[in-house]
Amino acid sequence: MKITFCCTDIKPGPWIEDLRAALPEAEVSVWQPGDPQADYALVWAPPQQFMDEQPGLKAMFNLGAGVDGLLRLKLPAGAAVVRIEDAGMAVQMAEYVCQAVIRHFREIDAYEAGMARGEWGFRKPRRRSDFPVGVMGLGVLGQRVARALAHFEFPVNGWSRSPRELEGITTYSGAQGFGDFLGASRVLVNLLPLTPDTRDILNADTFSRLLPGAYVINVARGDHLVEQDLIDQIDSGHLAGATLDVFRTEPLPADHAFRRHPRIKLTPHASARTLREDSLAQMIGKLQALARGEPLTGVVESHRGY
């Protein structure tokens, strides 16, 4: 079995060593233009040239959960695209979203600012029931986030493409459920894949349907968000603020308006990192399942875009 590694911005050394140790019978190498055909590939943001030169790939393992970057390319016709399912990302995402929701709900910024000014004082406790959280996307990550928020006793709504039943979560689905979902939510968390249906979904119309004083958390993709609509709705007071981990342009330009907005909190696409050991264990398990002719989970349906 020949495995090639073609990942932008990821140091290949440790991945290659671990793959060779786990699969001693496999030929594992870092892709170079002109290389012979491989059977399988580990990929992250590969160039089109890689796809053009590897028409015989049987499967590509994406080193992330989101495959929007990969699906922009023309892919080898016979290659299955396999994405990471959790592998340590879901708990990170749950931590990140819970901290953002709790920080907002408990007014930690206001407390910290007061302490920095030399004050000592309490704010009126807010009611959790006034802060229903809506999670867009109830897949591997969205479900974990919704469950974690429910554990902190927030009312939680969830929205997905197809109907889902989750204990303790009020669920909505499809275009027909979107308005009711938004109208019942005061904090909006985006965990959708980026597809033609979801691009720009965080826009003025979506925000206007949320409960007043709503808060937006985007941890999925920058292209979900219409940036100026977010700024306008925060400045108008309809939105209380936002926490953003992903951006249309990454790295976020140093002079971007988000960087100096007092009500927008930023992190550099760090909410849930790919963990090498966990991801490789999952990929190796799937390579072995493929060799035994077994079906895989996490295979992307390109017509849906995720």
Q: Is 63 in the site for ligand NDP (CB under 6 A)?
A: no
Residue 52 is given by DSSP the state H
Give the nearest residue (CB) to ligand NDP.
139
Catalytic residue among 20, 164, 261, 269: 269
Q: Is 221 a catalytic residue?
A: yes
Binding map of ligand NDP across residues 237-276, x = CB under 6 A, - = no contact: --------xx----------------------x-xx----
| Residue among 97, 89, 167, 88 nearest 136 (CA) | 97
Contact 160, 137 (CB under 8 A): yes
Piece of the chain touching ligand OXD by CB under 6 A; list 13-21, 60-68, 228-236, 297-305: 60-68
Residues numbered 272-291 forming contacts with ligand NDP, rule: CB under 6 A: 272
Of 64 and 158, the one with the shorter C-beta distance to ligand OXD is 64
Position 241 contacts ligand OXD (CB under 6 A):
no
Rounded to whole angstroms, what are the CA distances from 19 to 38, 147, 249? 15, 34, 32
In angstroms, rounded to a whole number, what is the distance separating the alpha carbons of residues 242 and 184? Answer: 18
Which of 28/82 has CB closer to ligand NDP? 82
- Which three-class secondary structure state does DSSP give residue 15? helix
d(CA 29, CA 201): 40
Nearest distance in Å: CB 45, ligand NDP: 13
Q: Please tell me the distance from the alpha carbon of residue 154 to that of residue 194, in angstroms, as a whole number.
A: 27
Residue 164 among the catalytic residues: no
Asked if 46 is part of the footprint of ligand OXD (rule: CB under 6 A), the reply reads no
On the 0-12 / 13-18 / 19+ scale of CB atoms within 10 A, 303 is: exposed
Neighbour-count burial for 271-289, b at 16+ CB within 10 Å, e otherwise: bbebebeebbebbbebbee
Give 52 or 197: the residue with its C-beta nearer to ligand NDP: 197
Q: Does residue 76 sit in helix, strand or coil?
A: coil
Q: Does 298 bind ligand OXD (CB under 6 A)?
A: no
What residue 263 binds from ligand OXD, ligand NDP, none (CB within 5 to 8 A, per partner kind)? none
Please report whether residue 64 would count as binding ligand OXD according to CB under 6 A. yes
Cα–Cα distances (Å) from 252 to 244, 256, 269, in that order, read 11, 7, 10
- Which of 221, 263, 273, 303 does the annotation list as catalytic? 221
Residues with a catalytic annotation lie at: 221, 269
Contacting residues toward ligand NDP, per CB under 6 A: 65-66, 89, 137-142, 159-162, 164, 191-195, 197-198, 219-221, 245-246, 269, 271-272, 306
Contacting residues toward ligand OXD, per CB under 6 A: 64-66, 274
